[in-house]
Structure 1
């Protein structure tokens, strides 16, 4: 005798396989992949070469573009029977309402997940050849995937409940606004939004990040599905309680969801050599050290044997200490692309600026003080001379002529006195040209 339950399960599997192959489900997977890949590729210089930036860009695209797209596709799938006027036939199907809804919504969710995983693989493959230390975050990828799966079931339920033909695009537009709005909030409530931009460069999520985020988004999806299709709709209280609890934990923790990544934060320095300053950067940027040394070679030669010249240059994000100069490393997409300095002139100019810039912002009347104009002209002249062909300044020609006319020994001695006062806001202390 045939087991009725087994027969129903076989029919469910057959129906699921058929739904996976036809309708809008396969097109949803393709649409998700293209929707994520196109904006990612257009911004490749900004993320390619850094795991944190890669996942931050992918997360933003997944939340703000992929989420509304999947919700609209699932919503359209949910209203299919009403558009075809076959909704009454569902009552004669031996499967329960929950099984019917799950079977109809699952293909959209699965194909959306496939589109996301394809994009994830392409992004990681494009980043891997240009990265240093660190690696991708499994927790971030899992939560992004969970978001797409969850919103697919929520969108499907909306499509079943609302019989308006335009509900799918309206849902997508409304969801886009809803996701973007919390980013303008100062409250920790903003961390409930899947589109919240997390600090992924140099930070990693805590170990329980993924379970709690999945409980939040997944709990809402299961609540909607059970409230719509379960025989005992009161069961929806259980996932709702899980979602509320997870949401409370997220809001209470806030920025504590992330901690420093030691693999990324530690310094990597160039090899020490007599007469050549060391360059120190964060581990992910270590592959840039040879190009940075080459770009700054002119600056180093002009400062050779100058008393008080920095023996070590440290990127500003690592926090230079006393005796170290700040190394103004440009951000990716703005001077750095993959593992290359695309604008050496800007890099050299900004680094030299760190040597000559004096922060006198605490003195509100600094620019009006006697001798301040002379000091500012002197600073510009030294910066221009150190940067050489990479200079972006237009110094006073009289000051520059005097500096160049000095004998080499006198110029080195003068530069030593100048560097000793580069943090001083007392004009009388700065040597004159």
Structure 2
């Protein structure tokens, strides 16, 4: 009787690694942390982002500033737990004879944890962007803020995993979570001016409502942040492979770590050369694309008023509020010689003055012999950071009221007493806080309380609308030319 022995053929290359990955994916601790990640995302990033106006730039920036912090506890905790698994169970002697190196085993465990975390992150971003797509009236998704978070997930996972490998203790997980959470969050506090090396922090994003509205989104800073996060991940994973591995795995780990460190350092140096670009974004010369300097074409949305009011289509929902805010001023100027043809929203201009960013706009322009006043919509919109509609209305009136009245009254280069008095009176009757502006005569050019111009302004403001408007119609040209004095005012 002959005994037949079945022989197995050679195992396909990579089959054992595939089985190991499949096993780690099934038993990864990160699977049980997915509901925690989703809950933290909903409680913080999702609620904070959807509470803002439905603008792609606002919600994408808010998401970038908070979503990575939401993923720190579940991702870092799960990675640190998996990294410390062999050390906690004292399995060094047991697994010393396995055919795969320790670096391979650890990389597979880290990769499985990171894959689950990345899937959860992409799902959360997809939900937020899907809701925004159904609400936004203009523009499209900003992918670079999402890419920064996607590159940050492997980085925080690798950080937790490395700490777990080298400090396998029962307190490793909570202490690592606290350290990464507060280190990442407090990394924003040293950022006061541009340039700042701390802007490489993946939570940093330009916090203003005009980004990616009048000009394309500038990806210079996100590119540098992604390079930093990828380099950090590579450096940390290289460190894992240095101890207890064979000759070639150690060399590969050292090369990976060196490349990662070089990438991270390069990105930090690039961020150190950054400067504000004038449109609220950050320009890095080495990553600059001249195509981002060209304005985004758009068709303004205008109201049906005697003096036309137009806004950017991204802000179309706020056109009624802007029109109501400017209504009293426009009512005083309608029909007066020299009155503006229209009020159009323009791109804000950002200038850094010390540690503060000053926001301004372009002056009036002339179309067909009549002025068109530029309007800079306040950087904070209703519903953002607690801004109410009433506060937004006052901000719009204060921002554009003086420019509108100046087209009729005249102010440059040195307004006379009659011009200052009439300007003050029109601001008062239009509901603009002229008293607060008059308290700063050096900045606004308005008469200070107690002066003859201030008293004349009060008398002119007390006149009936018909009397005041008729006088303006008859004397606007002479007033604008500076030919009238306080005695000529009624």
**Bucket of the pairwise TM-score, normalised by the shorter protein:** 0.7 to 0.9
The Cα of 1:333 is off from its aligned counterpart by: 5.0
Aligned partners of 1:418 and 1:383: how far apart in 2? 20
CA contact under 8 A between 2:234 and 2:259: conserved in structure 1?
A: no
CA contact under 8 A between 2:79 and 2:161: conserved in structure 1?
A: yes
Match of residue 221 from structure 1? 233
The Cα of 1:284 is off from its aligned counterpart by: 2.0
Aligned partners of 1:136 and 1:74: how far apart in 2? 31
- The alpha-carbon distance between structure 1 residues 113 and 430, as it changes in their structure 2 partners (threshold 3 A), is farther
Aligned residue among 126, 132, 140 for 1:135: 140
Q: Does 1:109 align with 2:114?
A: yes
Match of residue 335 from structure 2? 305
Aligned partners of 1:148 and 1:219: how far apart in 2? 13
Pairs aligned (count): 407
Aligned partners of 2:268 and 2:39: how far apart in 1? 31
- The alpha-carbon distance between structure 1 residues 118 and 45, as it changes in their structure 2 partners (threshold 3 A), is closer
CA contact under 8 A between 1:134 and 1:263: conserved in structure 2?
A: no
The Cα of 1:375 is off from its aligned counterpart by: 5.8
Aligned partners of 1:276 and 1:251: how far apart in 2? 50
CA contact under 8 A between 1:212 and 1:246: conserved in structure 2?
A: yes
What's the RMSD between the two structures over aligned residues?
4.1
Aligned partners of 2:375 and 2:218: how far apart in 1? 30
The Cα of 1:135 is off from its aligned counterpart by: 2.2
CA contact under 8 A between 2:49 and 2:62: conserved in structure 1?
A: no
Q: Does 1:192 align with 2:196?
A: no
Aligned partners of 1:28 and 1:267: how far apart in 2? 45
The Cα of 1:84 is off from its aligned counterpart by: 3.3
Provide Cα deviations, 1:265-292, integer angstroms capped at 9, x if missing partner.
Answer: 556434587x722223334224543564
CA contact under 8 A between 1:50 and 1:127: conserved in structure 2?
A: yes
Aligned partners of 1:219 and 1:45: how far apart in 2? 32
Q: Does 1:277 align with 2:307?
A: yes
Match of residue 394 from structure 2? 349
- The alpha-carbon distance between structure 1 residues 39 and 119, as it changes in their structure 2 partners (threshold 3 A), is same
Aligned partners of 1:346 and 1:83: how far apart in 2? 58
- The alpha-carbon distance between structure 1 residues 22 and 181, as it changes in their structure 2 partners (threshold 3 A), is same
Match of residue 329 from structure 1? 377
Aligned partners of 1:197 and 1:188: how far apart in 2? 13
Aligned partners of 1:206 and 1:296: how far apart in 2? 32
Match of residue 442 from structure 2? none
Aligned partners of 2:388 and 2:188: how far apart in 1? 35
Aligned partners of 1:104 and 1:72: how far apart in 2? 14
- The alpha-carbon distance between structure 1 residues 246 and 4, as it changes in their structure 2 partners (threshold 3 A), is farther
Aligned partners of 1:247 and 1:263: how far apart in 2? 27
Aligned partners of 2:392 and 2:220: how far apart in 1? 40
Q: Does 1:403 align with 2:403?
A: no
Higher RCO structure (Cα 8 Å, ≥6 apart) = 1
SS in 1 for 2:95: helix
Task: State TM-score, norm by structure 2.
Answer: 0.68
Aligned partners of 1:138 and 1:415: how far apart in 2? 56
SS in 2 for 1:90: coil
The Cα of 1:300 is off from its aligned counterpart by: 3.5
The Cα of 1:69 is off from its aligned counterpart by: 4.6
Match of residue 364 from structure 1? none
The Cα of 1:152 is off from its aligned counterpart by: 0.8
Match of residue 264 from structure 2? 243
CA contact under 8 A between 2:159 and 2:236: conserved in structure 1?
A: yes
Provide Cα deviations, 1:136-195, integer angstroms capped at 9, x if missing partner.
Answer: 232332222011112212221111101232222322322234333354244431232212
SS in 1 for 2:319: helix
- The alpha-carbon distance between structure 1 residues 216 and 408, as it changes in their structure 2 partners (threshold 3 A), is closer
- The alpha-carbon distance between structure 1 residues 429 and 119, as it changes in their structure 2 partners (threshold 3 A), is farther
Aligned partners of 1:208 and 1:308: how far apart in 2? 44
Matches within 5 A, 1:27-38: 27-38=32-43
* Higher mean C-alpha deviation, range 46-55 or range 119-128: 46-55
The Cα of 1:119 is off from its aligned counterpart by: 1.7
The Cα of 1:42 is off from its aligned counterpart by: 3.2
Matches within 5 A, 1:9-408: 9-44=14-49, 47-67=52-72, 69-179=74-184, 180-185=186-191, 186=193, 187-198=195-206, 201-202=211-212, 204=216, 212-229=224-241, 230-232=249-251, 233-235=253-255, 236-253=257-274, 255-257=282-284, 266=297, 268-271=299-302, 276-289=306-319, 292-293=322-323, 296-297=326-327, 299-315=329-345, 317-318=347-348, 319-322=361-364, 323-327=371-375, 329-331=377-379, 334=382, 343=389, 345-354=390-399, 356-357=401-402, 381-387=425-431, 399=459, 402-404=462-464, 407=467
Task: State TM-score, norm by structure 1.
Answer: 0.76
Aligned partners of 1:114 and 1:419: how far apart in 2? 67
The Cα of 1:411 is off from its aligned counterpart by: 4.7
Structure with the larger helix share: 1
